[in-house]
Amino acid sequence: MKVILLLVAVVALCLGEEIQRFDNFKVYQVVPTTHAHLEALRQLERNVNYNFWSEPALNTYVDIMVSPHLKYDFENLLHSLNLPGKVLIEDVQDLINNEQNRTVTRQMFNGYQTLDEIYDWLRSLESTYPNNVKVVVGGQTYEGRQILGVHVSFKEGNKAVFLEGGIHAREWIAPATVTYILHQLLTSSDPAVRAVAESRDWYVFPSVNPDGYVYSHTTNRLWRKTRKLYNMGSIKCYGADPNRNWGYHWMEGGASDIPCLDTFGGDAPFSEIETKSLSEYINTVAPQLDVYLGFHSFSQLLLVPFGHEGLEVPENNNELFTIGKQAIDKLAERHGTIYQVGNIPEIIYIASGGSTDWVAGTHRHIRLVYTFELRDTGRYGFVLPSNQIIPTGEETLDAVVSMIQQIDGTA
């Protein structure tokens, strides 16, 4: 009954199609240091009136967006818990407004692109590089869109890299970074980039949650999930978390069974057509793959599978750490951005049903499987200014090149 009452309280939020604003919404950062802190935050996370930008874990930064009318309740809760908190973002809408102003006159990597603009650009690459680039369909969406990507190939017989971006709709820097890397693979004259680009085939999908990405542009900048309708009697909620919906140790920690929550894992593994159809496409190219990289934001982390409860690690866990550490060292050389590398539950939080977990667990021959959590560490969070697209792309490309050089013995 308590859950139902919480859902009723936010039914308008779940259903509303007007542009959602976040005037005077604040983002607080706390670090739970006791189990009492952690349990209180986990209870709060089940209240859909609070928006957790990162999930609660001991001795880890937890960022929480709080509406103006809950500000005093939240601060009183922190006081009662003796849990210090600081305000990272004073007004979320200000960040969104600044982002939108920069986007009005955007060029490809100077502003965040809409889905149609990304897809038009992918099609233009096929026209510009007809011998090397082919537009491919990786799946379908609930609202009838295609999950478009490109297959880049310079010679037959190559192993392949899969780049997956935008599974969480609000993480706009992820599609932008993936498109930047793709652009460099095709145009860079840097010898190291050229060697890596031509040593592999590339399956590149900038936005694997198209419905959610469109919705984040048109209606709710902070939308995370898919857009499938979930009916709960008189209550309707939209979407499941597409990175909690894959069929490897599904719902074994870090996912919710409450449809209106951001981490709702769906009502079954692969309940979302996006994850089901994309997984089927991945199965067709998996024999060729030796690298699979997912791109998210934010936290500046390089995550090694697995995320579910039980602390399973890949057979080549030590190798993944070694290669990952060298890659993030290379990343830091470009702009001084500091990353950490680690297994998902140990460095961030338990999270089951993720795409990279499914890839690593289902296709165990794929040597390198990582998730990038891109810039930043909370100053802007999901609303990263567009002037950080190019530096984020540059440093991330450096890391990707380093990874492939290491497994090829050319580092």
The model's pLDDT over 65-105, given as tens digits with 9 standing for 90+, comes to 999 999 999 999 999 999 999 999 999 999 999 887 665 55
DSSP-assigned beta bridge partners for residue 292:
162, 369
Is 122 found in the same domain as 35? no
Alpha-carbon torsion (291, 292, 298, 299), positive or negative: negative
Q: Give which of 99, 13, 26 is closest to 63, Cα–Cα.
A: 26
* Domain-embedded: residue 239: no
**Edge-to-edge strands, sheet with 26-30:** 51-52, 62-66, 26-30, 85-89
Structural domain that includes position 49: 2-98
The one catalytic residue in 55, 272, 312, 373 is 373
Residues 329 and 284 placed together within one structural domain of the fold: yes
Q: What is the pLDDT of residues 115-157, one digit of tens each?
A: 999 999 999 999 999 999 999 999 999 999 999 999 999 999 9
Q: Averaged over 8-17, what is the pLDDT?
A: 45
The closest alpha carbon to 61, from 80, 39, 36, 86, belongs to 86
Last residue of a domain, one of 71, 98, 125: 98
Tell the burial category of 150 from Cβ atoms under 10 Å away from its Cβ (0-12, 13-18, 19+): buried
Q: State yes or no: is 373 an active-site residue.
A: yes
Q: Are residues 274 and 203 in the same domain?
A: yes
Look at the alpha carbons of 297, 299, 302, 305 in this order and tell me if their dihedral is positive or negative. Answer: negative
Q: Are 153 and 219 in contact (CB under 8 A)?
A: no
Assess if residue 236 is contained within a domain. Answer: no
Residue 224, domain member (yes or no): no
Q: Are 87 and 134 members of one domain?
A: no
Counted residue by residue, the chain has a size of 411
User: Do both 16 and 145 map to the same domain?
Assistant: no
Indicate whether 12 pLDDT > 70: no
Q: What is the mean pLDDT of residues 205-211?
A: 99
Rg (CA), the chain: 20
Residues 6+ apart with CB under 8 A from 116: none
DSSP percent split of the chain into helix, strand, coil, nearest 5: 40, 20, 40
- Choose one of 98, 129, 155: the last residue of a domain: 98
The two tokens of residue 236 are: 């309707």
Q: Flag whether 32 is in a domain.
A: yes
**Whether residue 94 sits in one domain with residue 112:** no
Would you state the pLDDT for residue 235?
84
Q: Over 60: is that where the pLDDT of 225 sits?
A: yes
The rounded distance, in Å, linking the Cα atoms of 235 and 274 is 23
The larger pLDDT score, comparing residue 48 to residue 388, is at 388
Residue 157 lies in a domain: yes
In the predicted model, what is the mean pLDDT of the chain? 94
Asked if residue 154 is part of any domain, the answer here is: yes
| Helices and strands: H and E segment counts in the chain | 14, 14
Domain finish residue from 98, 128, 151: 98
Spatial separation of the C-alpha atoms in residues 41 and 149, rounded to whole Å: 38
